[in-house]
Amino acid sequence: MSENKEIITTELSELGEFGLINKLTKDLKLINKQSIKGVGDDAAVLNYNSEQIVVTTDLLLEGVHFNLAYTPLMHLGYKAVTVNISDIAAMNAKPRQILVSFAVSNRFGLEAIEELYKGIHIACKDYGVDLVGGDTSSSVKGLFISITAIGGVEKENVVYRSGANVKDILCVTGDLGSAYMGLQLLERENKIYKSDPLIQPDLSGYDYLLQRQLRPQARVDIINYFKENGIVPTSMIDISDGLSSEAIHLSINSDKGCRIFEDKIPIADQTIELANEFGLEPLICALNGGEDYELLFSVKPSDFQKIKSNPDITAIGYFTEKEEGMNLEVSNGKIIPLNSQGWNAFLNP
């Protein structure tokens, strides 16, 4: 499982920074008309004359955000882009450009960085974004990745976390908790492998969970769907820290309360199955698992008709007056506050 770890046949120091950048970006073609000038000057030049620009940045650090023992570098590159594109989508914007910076120790050779960039390039193609800049450096230890993503959206269509109104329907895309269970599976198998390298990891039957953890998709498709169907959500956020945390963000930023129904939360069969095997509550995985990169958003009740036929969108609750608090209604009708300490303890054992 640790085949990525030391594949050095070409030392980065042989190439130098400019040789490396040239190697990694020489086949780049700019695809967005807003990308005027990409890699190769002091800064990239962009043109967004009729739109608002949205811009976001995220760090990924080895040993904190990923473990190279079970994360293929190509998937890591793809995921690093996804995490940022997901933030652009959460503003209801179309992603257009990224800047990629990384620092690596001398443990990594050219081939490792090329694997990372292979994933980055595939993600650029999938999301239709241009790689227009970045920075490279050596590090004392480990791999650091910092990506900035830029997107555009018509002024009137920007969606903040703060626009939810009472009675707006709270919706979520895809299903929740699966990326978290994928991580649990990878960590279990990695522990077994470390204790006895002759035991091959048993990951069969859980392809979906692994894909959700290793190669998540940003929901740009949903943003396109909104546009095609004339829907502008009243509030939106992407789910990186779990449903509970993100619903609290929307509620606090919108100065509202919310109610979520346990039995409406979409959880995949594989997630339920593996959670049971691990002795975990699937609901807790969905509420606090994180890394789903699905979108959590609210729409006006009058817009709900337009989206309820989309099989990728599930209504899970609604916004209330602030005084009613942020609550989960579980199957037996009991109401549990969303910011319950129980969930936090689970997250930070």
CB 43, min distance to a copy of itself, A: 4
DSSP string, 160-184: -TT---TTPEEEEES-SSHHHHHHH
DSSP 249-285: HHHHHHT-EEEEEGGGS---HHHHHHHHHHT--HHHH
For a copy of itself, the closer of residues 157 and 211 by Cβ is 157
- Considering beta carbons, is residue 141 or 191 the nearer one to a copy of itself? 141
Output the DSSP codes for 61-107: EBTTTB-TTT--HHHHHHHHHHHHHHHHHTTT-EEEEEEEEEEE-TT
CB of 53 to a copy of itself, least distance (A): 4
State yes or no: residue 53 binds a copy of itself (CB under 8 A): yes
160 makes contact with a copy of itself (CB under 8 A): yes
Q: Is 148 in the site for a copy of itself (CB under 8 A)?
A: yes
Pick the stretch among 97-105, 116-124, 182-190, 333-341 that binds a copy of itself (CB under 8 A): 97-105
Stretch that binds a copy of itself, among 22-30, 56-64, 107-115, 190-198 (CB under 8 A): 56-64
List the one residue from 8, 31, 59, 335 that touches a copy of itself (CB under 8 A). 59
Opening angle at CA 168, ends 162 and 171, nearest 5: 90
**Residues in CB range of 170: below 8 A, 6 or more apart:** 164, 247, 250, 258, 260, 296, 297, 298, 315, 316, 317, 318, 319
From 168-176, 218-226, 233-241, 261-269, give the range in contact with a copy of itself by CB under 8 A: 233-241
259, amino acid identity: R
Give the number of other Cβ atoms within 10 Å of residue 50's Cβ: 8
Contact 183, 214 (CB under 8 A): no
Contact between 167 and a copy of itself by CB under 8 A: the answer reads: no
Q: Which span (60-68, 164-172, 176-184, 282-290) binds a copy of itself, by CB under 8 A?
A: 60-68
What number of chain residues touch a copy of itself (CB under 8 A)? 62
Q: Structure tokens of 257? A: 């309360």
Can you tell me which residue has the tokens 């506050």? Answer: 337
User: Of residues 36, 167, 205, 221, which one binds a copy of itself by CB under 8 A?
Assistant: 36
Nearest residue (CB) to a copy of itself, 47 versus 224: 47
Nearest CB to a copy of itself, comparing residues 91 and 328: 91
Gap between the Cα atoms of 211 and 281, Å rounded: 21
Distance CA 147, CA 130 (A): 13
- Closest to a copy of itself by CB, 87 vs 303, is 87
317 touches a copy of itself by CB under 8 A:
no
Q: Is 64 in the site for a copy of itself (CB under 8 A)?
A: yes
Q: Which residue ranges make up the site for a copy of itself (CB under 8 A)?
A: 36-37, 40-50, 52-59, 61-65, 86-88, 90-91, 93, 97, 99, 101, 103, 132-142, 144, 146, 148-151, 155, 158, 160-162, 236-238, 253
